[in-house]
A and B are shown apart, each in its own frame.
Chain A
Amino acid sequence: MVRIALCFWLTATSALAGEIWVSNEKDDTISVIDEATLEVVRTIEVGERPRGITFSKDYKRLYLCASDSDTVQVIDPVTGKILHDLPSGEDPEQFILHPDNKHLYIANEDDAIATVVDVESRKVVAQIDVGIEPEGMAVSPDGSFAVVTSETTNMAHWIDTKSQKIVANTLVDQRPRHAEFTKDGDELWVSAEIGGTITVFDTDKKSEKAKINFEIKGIHPDRVQPVGFEMTADGKYVFVALGPANHVAVVDPKTYQVLDYILVGRRVWHMAFNGDQSRLFTTNGVSGDVTVIDVSNLKPLKTIKVGRFPWGAAYRPT
């Protein structure tokens, strides 16, 4: 009995050994949440208006868009020290690391440009003209396409990562915010905040395949505004943050049907899974907290107070 309990305890702790890093847009800090205790264990001071946040593939570096400092900061996640800056172009908002672990595709919100930076040589490899207010960034799993969405131009721009040129532009609904490829790379999903939809594209044809709408009883449809979303690796769920509707939608990626709506904090923005994807951490901008969702039963587990206006979230194992 003791042995079983001990064994359970060991697996439980090994499964929950990691951290969720949250960028606080209006506090110029990162809150680090321990996934086992669900407490903030560290607060790290960073550049101005931190938004996009992601780890290198080996988790040895954290990349952070410090938008108002006009730079991407590279941080040692163990010490929390800022190691150096990357030339990012002006007002970097969001970015994506290419599967080669070397090229960072950055959306420069104020400049209608996407900047490609080599994180090793710390040099700008390319700058690509895109629509107004680029934000959502995605790279296909095979690395062949990067996609930038522009909020005011309402397009997804498809960039060939070899030539660094735009090869297609596809219209989406008003104010696209976030883009993700499915794990198999067959589909690209793009959320439109003001349009209130997610558009699903066929990657090969670069044409619209499906459109997902959201409806929450008691909330006016105009206030249901999809922003960030994440897909589970097993292809079972897509979780969609619905902004001022204060809910996360659970979508079946095979049928495109909404399965459930989970109440979270106010103005839910982005999210990150923990390592085994048993839990989902959502950033709630207006209430200044993070909601932890139990993925097994789709119920909120806990609310954790972080800094002012939490924006992005990223996971690293420890």
Chain B
Amino acid sequence: MLFNSIEFLIFFPIVCLIYFIIPHKVRWAFLLVASYYFYMSWKASYAILLFGVTTVNYLGGLAIANSKNKETKKWILIFTIILSLSGLYYYKYFNFIGNTINAILNNLGIGISIPFLDLILPVGISFFTFQALSYTIDIYKGQMKCETNFGIFALFVSFFPQLVAGPIERATHLLPQFYEKHKWNDKNAVVGIRLMLWGMFKKVVVADRLALYVNAVFNNYQKHSGLSYILASILFAFQIYCDFSGYSDIARGSARVMGFDLMVNFRFPYLSENVTKFWQRNHISLTTWLKDYIYFPLVETNPTVLRMCVLIFITFLLSGLWHGADWTFVIWGIWQAVFLIYDILMRKKRKRMEKWFKERKLLNLSLGFRYLVTFAIICLGAIFFRASDVKQGWAILKGILSLKEGSLFIDAATLSYSFIALILLLFIEANNTIDFNDFIMRQKTLSKWSLYYIIIISIIVLGVFDNSAFIYFQF
């Protein structure tokens, strides 16, 4: 079920209504049923996978908590991780690894090949697997007590607002909320609806509109010029941001209406002065997951610069693979890692330069320049995120760097609408400190209502309603 579908428009108010009518003690069971229904409306049989990951981590957590031996705890954790990731491996990485091995064997002249499996990737598998794993790892690290109620734990893994595309919640943050007694609260409802409205604007007005231009260039890249590649790459950066942060806003908003607080996943990352800052503001739930469960545990034992650089490289390589089982995502991950490592190596020099600019009262100018450079780096990396294969990615990157001949592809209707929507987006997002709600709270009544009006009219008049799925569903 998509957030931007008629089904969700009916599903969500009904769920809310029932949720607040029924007694508190059965609410978790109702939300669990609603969440599984939400997931099963896409492909019912894959709920088994969701249930499997839930069961493995519930039992794993229980076993770790009940075990007194540190070594046993460690082996239970490893076993739980392997079992949890096996579904992810089978559905997401089996064909990728198989194809890579086949290519190597072919090059060596060995006539053995691993069969290709015709599989449909279960929606949100990477999200709920990582969310469930975070619980088990937290139990192992002694950061929380294990959850004994299987139903509540199953709800934590499958909670429908964030089930298929995050934010990847932590058990320490979300699990206790299922025990809280939520009463209908006007303030929560207003905040939630605002977030949902803004998320919908980002998805259907900006992301899906930009997709029309981006798809036209990327799907037919041979015919387009370097200038068109540049414009398409810039627009894709906004498309992916609006698509994913739009989903997160709707997820946070719908949870908030019911009284739940989900973590902020984006803080307009395109206003970042370097790639490190970008990753502190972009897909925060995944970045912090990777940082807390992979990077920090490995780096804290011996935090040398070399070790940090190697671990950043590994972490972002994994981040690339988390996004997709393709070499394009591997390249994208390496691209991010290279600039993050550069940031570490240049930290001292950067501080000296900042001081120099500050003394000459040029700090704002240098900041603006760094925003632009960071944005350019992200846009160039995004080419591989969008490209259907490595060949296409290289061709587009080469086309940009050599300014491939030809005129700029102008789809006047799409671009004119896109720019109207982008101006509104940039104005609001650049003035946010936390989220859209924070922006709205600072407005006077008239501007607040005008903004609601403009956003709703924009959704109706400029929205693309082709029921297109959110990009991050595929991960």
Q: Do A and B associate with each other?
A: no
